Structure 1
Amino acid sequence: MLQLKKTNSRLFALFFSSTIFNLHKPYEESVNQVLISLTEKAGYEKAAYFRLYNSDISSFDSIGFDDESVNKFKAEMGKHRGSSFGLVGQCIKNKAAINKESLQDDPDWEEGFAGIKSLLYMPVQYDDQLFGVLGLFSSEAGSFGEEDEQILFTLTHSLAISISNRISQNQVQIQINRLASLHQIDMSINSSSDLSLTLSIVLSNVVAQLNVNAADIVLVDRFSNEIKVAAKTGFSSIFHDDAAITNLITQRVIKEKDLIGVDLLETDAPQEWTKEGFKAYWGVPIISKGVVRGVLEVLNKTNNKPGQDWLDFLDTLGGQAAIAIENAETFESLIHSNLELQMAYDSTIEGWSMALDLRDKETEGHTLRVTEMSVRFAQKLGISQADIINLRRGALLHDIGKIGVP
C-alpha cells in the first residue's frame, strides 16, 4: 500500500512537472518548479538540472544541496568542458541515462556532492537535440530502480518537447523583432540624410537584437585612410567619437574583408576594451561598391559562442550600415552638384549682363541697379527667398534682348 501511494505521488509529480514548461513562465522559474515537484511531491531526496549551451554546461540549478557543495561543483565545472566532466559529462557525451547504484570508489564521480551514494542521470533531448541533464540523487545506495528510470525518462521527454516548442516560439519572435528593426533602419535611411542619426539607430538595434553590451561603427577616411569612430553605444566614454582607431583587431577586419570573432582573453586586446571587462569581439566590414568603408564592431562581457543566425544578422546589419553610408554620400554629392550647377547658371547670367553693359556705355550699370532694387523691393513685400532668387535672375536678363539690336 505504501509503495502504491509512493508511485501515485511520483506519477502526480510527473504530470505536474510535464505541464510547467507549457506555461508562459521564465525558464529559470520553470526549472526550479520542476525540481521542487520532484523533491516535495515525488519524494526524491535531491534533484538537479544541468542546462546546456553548445554541449557545455551553462548553468546549474538544484534542490536539496548545501551551498558549499553547489559552489564547489560550479568551481570544478568551470575548469572543464561539460562533456568531459564526471558522470554528467558521460551522460552528455553518450546522450544516455546513467543509473549508479553505488558511487563508492567510482573514479568517474567528479561532481563532488558530499554524502551522495547513488544517482540517476537522464538526458533531456528531442530529435537528437540535447537541452540538458536532469539528475536525482540519494544519500543511500541503490535508491533508483527501473520504475524511477521510466518516470524520469517520461518526464525528460515531455520537458524536451516543451523546451523545443518554447525555443521555436522564441526564434519566431526573434525573427519578427529583427525584421522590425531592419524596417526601422530602412525608414531612417530613406527619410534622413543625417548619417550620424542613421548609424545611431543601427547601433541601438544591434545592441537590442543581438543582446550585446556595446557596439560601435568606425569609418575609414577616403582621403587620409585614417580610422575614426563614427558612432558608439554601451561604452564608458573610452574614446571620443572622432578618436583615431589603431588597434590591430579592427585593422584585421578591414584587411581580410570578412566577419571576424575574437576571444579577447586570448589575444593582445586594446587596454580600453579589457578595462571595460569585454571578453568577446565580433567585427563585420562595411563594404560599399567593393571598398571597405568601415567596420561594425560588437563587444560582449560574456564569452558565449553565438549561433549562425546571430552572425548572419550581424552581417546583415553591416550591410545596412553600408547602404546608409552610400545613401548619405550620394545625397551630399547631389547637393554639391546642384550647388555647383546653380553657381554656374548665375555666373552665366551675370556674364550676359556684363556683356550688355560693355556694348552700351550709356546704360552701364543699369542692369545691376535694377536687380538690386528689385531684390530689396521683393524683400519688403515678404516674398520667399526661393522666389527672390528667380526674380533676381529675371532682373539681370530684363534687357538682354538689346544685345541683338544693331
Structure 2
Amino acid sequence: MERAQVVAEALGNAVRRASLRHKLARRVEHLEALRQVDQAILASLDLGPSLEVLLDKLFLLPLDTAAFFLYEPREKALRLAAHRGFHTPSPSLPRSLLLGQGHVGQAALTGEKVAVDDLSREPGSHPEFTREEGLLAERAYPLLARGRLLGVLAAFTRRPWDLTEEDEAFLETLVGQSTLALDSLKVLQDLQKSQRELEAAYELTLWGWAKAVELRDQETAGHTERVTALSLRLAEVLGVPEEDLDDLRRGAILHDVGKIAIPDSILLKPGPLTEEEWAVMKKHPVYAYEWLSGIPFLKKALEIPYAHHERWDGSGYPRGLRGLEIPLSARIFAVVDVYDALTSDRPYRKAWPKAKALAYLQEQAGRQFDPEVVAAFLRLMEEEEKA
C-alpha cells in the first residue's frame, strides 16, 4: 500500500509537472507571438502585413475562422479587410456591414464585445452564409482607441466555444494589439496627409512667386518650367542623390524670385543697362537670400537663387565664388539657365539654334561653367536628340 501510494504520488507529480511545462510553453509561445506582432506593427507603414501577422497569431488559439473589419466613417459601415479560415472563396464573402447590422455591426455600434454561443439560433446578418460555413460560436470585439471606433475583430469556431481562461486572456491581448496597429497606422496616415497638404501648399506658394516674376518679366514666360524640368534631368545624369532633388527643384523654381525687388525701369528696359543699373540688377540673388534664408524648409534650395550667377573662374556675382566653392546645384542650374535663355526668343535677339548654344556652353566650360557639368549636359542633349 505504501509503495502504491508513493507510485501514485510520483505519477501525480509527473502529471502536474507536465501540465506546468505545457502551460509554460503556451505562455512563452503567446509572449513570442506578441513580440512578433509588436515588430510587425513597428516595421510596416502598411496595415496589410500587420493584419496578416495578427491573423497568424490568432490561430495559435483553437479558432476556426477570423476576420478584421475596418470602420469607414463616411459610409457608416464596416469593410472586410483581412480574413482567415473560411471555406467560401474570398470574392463571395460578405464585404461590408452597416453599423448595428449583425453581431459585428452590433459590437461596433455598442462598443462592447458580442458573444454568441449558438449561431443556429442567433445567426446574425448572413444566416445562409453562417449555415454553409458550419459556424457555431462567435465573438465580435470592437477595436476602440481613445473613444474612436477603428474596426471589429470577429472570431468563430465550428464547435462549442471552449477557450481556456488563459486563451481568452491572450485573445483579449491580441484585440488590444489589433487596436494599436490600427490606431498607429491611422495616426501615421493623418500625419502623412497633413505633410502632403503642407508640401502642396509650399509648392503652390513657390510657383506663385515664380509666376509673379514671369508676369513682370514677360520675356521669360514659361522659362521656369523648362529650366526646372531640364535641371532635374541633368542632376540625375550627374548622380545627384534622390533626396536632394526636391531642394534642387525648389531652387530652380525660385531662381529669379529676387527680381521682384528690381524696379520696372531696370527690369523691363529694352536696351542695354548702364553700369549703375547693372549694379542694381546684380542684387537680385542677395534679395532672394535675405528674404528666404530664415525659412528652414528652403535653406538648401536657396543655393540656386543665391549662387546661379557665380562663374567657374570666379568672375560671377554676388560673392565671386570660384570652382567647387559654388554649390553643385547652382553649377547645374547655371548651364541649363543659359542654354534655355540662348535658345529662346528675346526682344533684343532671336533664339539661337541649339547647335550654336551647345557650342557656346562648350566654349565657356572652365570659364563660366563647371566643365564636368557641361560635358554631362552635352551627353544628355545628345541622348535626348537620338531618342
- Cα displacement string for residues 316-363 of structure 1 (whole angstroms, at most 9, x for unaligned residues): 111111111111222222222222222211211111111112223344
2:119–2:138 contact (8 Å) kept in structure 1? no
1:224 correspondence with 2:109:
no
Q: Decide which of 93, 117, 124 is 1:263's aligned counterpart.
A: 117
Residue in 1 that maps onto 2:104? 250
1:285 correspondence with 2:142:
yes
2:150–2:183 contact (8 Å) kept in structure 1? no
1:284–1:314 contact (8 Å) kept in structure 2? no
- Counterpart of 1:193 in 2: which secondary structure? coil
1:216–1:229 contact (8 Å) kept in structure 2? yes
1:403 correspondence with 2:255:
no
The whole-number CA distance in structure 2 between the counterparts of 1:252 and 1:363 is 64
Residue in 2 that maps onto 1:186? 38
Change (3 A) 1:370 1:185: same
Q: Decide which of 160, 185, 193 is 1:328's aligned counterpart.
A: 185
The whole-number CA distance in structure 1 between the counterparts of 2:143 and 2:207 is 45
- Counterpart of 1:341 in 2: which secondary structure? helix
The whole-number CA distance in structure 2 between the counterparts of 1:242 and 1:348 is 46
Q: Which has the higher strand share?
A: 1
2:210–2:253 contact (8 Å) kept in structure 1? yes
- Deviation of residue 381 (structure 1)? 3.5
- Cα displacement string for residues 125-178 of structure 1 (whole angstroms, at most 9, x for unaligned residues): xxxxxxxxxxxxxxxxxxxxxxxxxx5x77665544333222222111111111
- Cα displacement string for residues 212-252 of structure 1 (whole angstroms, at most 9, x for unaligned residues): 12111112212112122111111112553671246522223
Unaligned stretches of 5+ residues in structure 1: 1-10, 16-150
The whole-number CA distance in structure 1 between the counterparts of 2:185 and 2:96 is 22
Equivalent positions of 1:336-351 (< 5 A) are: 336-351=193-208
The whole-number CA distance in structure 2 between the counterparts of 1:398 and 1:200 is 49
What amino acid is the match of 1:168? L
The whole-number CA distance in structure 2 between the counterparts of 1:336 and 1:321 is 22
2:116–2:122 contact (8 Å) kept in structure 1? no
- Deviation of residue 388 (structure 1)? 2.9
1:230–1:242 contact (8 Å) kept in structure 2? no
- Counterpart of 1:299 in 2: which secondary structure? strand
Change (3 A) 1:277 1:163: farther
2:228–2:252 contact (8 Å) kept in structure 1? yes
What amino acid is the match of 1:193? L
Residue in 1 that maps onto 2:88? 237
The whole-number CA distance in structure 2 between the counterparts of 1:291 and 1:405 is 55
Report the number of matched residues: 257
The whole-number CA distance in structure 2 between the counterparts of 1:340 and 1:237 is 42
2:213–2:260 contact (8 Å) kept in structure 1? yes
1:253–1:260 contact (8 Å) kept in structure 2? yes
What amino acid is the match of 1:215? A
- Deviation of residue 398 (structure 1)? 1.9
Q: Percent identity?
A: 30
What amino acid is the match of 1:340? E
Residue in 1 that maps onto 2:248? 391
Change (3 A) 1:371 1:257: closer
Unaligned stretches of 5+ residues in structure 2: 264-387
Change (3 A) 1:171 1:332: same
Change (3 A) 1:156 1:275: farther
- Cα displacement string for residues 235-293 of structure 1 (whole angstroms, at most 9, x for unaligned residues): 11255367124652222322342333321255222332332222222222211221232
The whole-number CA distance in structure 1 between the counterparts of 2:16 and 2:110 is 38
Q: Decide which of 202, 207, 211 is 2:62's aligned counterpart.
A: 211
Residue in 1 that maps onto 2:279? none
The whole-number CA distance in structure 2 between the counterparts of 1:254 and 1:363 is 60
- Counterpart of 2:28 in 1: which secondary structure? helix
2:209–2:257 contact (8 Å) kept in structure 1? yes
Change (3 A) 1:364 1:257: closer
The whole-number CA distance in structure 1 between the counterparts of 2:95 and 2:120 is 26
The whole-number CA distance in structure 2 between the counterparts of 1:331 and 1:372 is 31
2:120–2:136 contact (8 Å) kept in structure 1? no
TM-score for the superposition, normalised by structure 2: 0.60
- Cα displacement string for residues 85-108 of structure 1 (whole angstroms, at most 9, x for unaligned residues): xxxxxxxxxxxxxxxxxxxxxxxx
Residue in 2 that maps onto 1:309? 166
- Over the aligned positions, Cα root-mean-square deviation in angstroms equals 2.6
Change (3 A) 1:372 1:285: closer
- Counterpart of 1:346 in 2: which secondary structure? helix
Q: Which moved more, 1:363-372 or 1:335-344?
A: 363-372
Change (3 A) 1:252 1:369: closer
- Cα displacement string for residues 25-63 of structure 1 (whole angstroms, at most 9, x for unaligned residues): xxxxxxxxxxxxxxxxxxxxxxxxxxxxxxxxxxxxxxx
The whole-number CA distance in structure 2 between the counterparts of 1:176 and 1:236 is 31
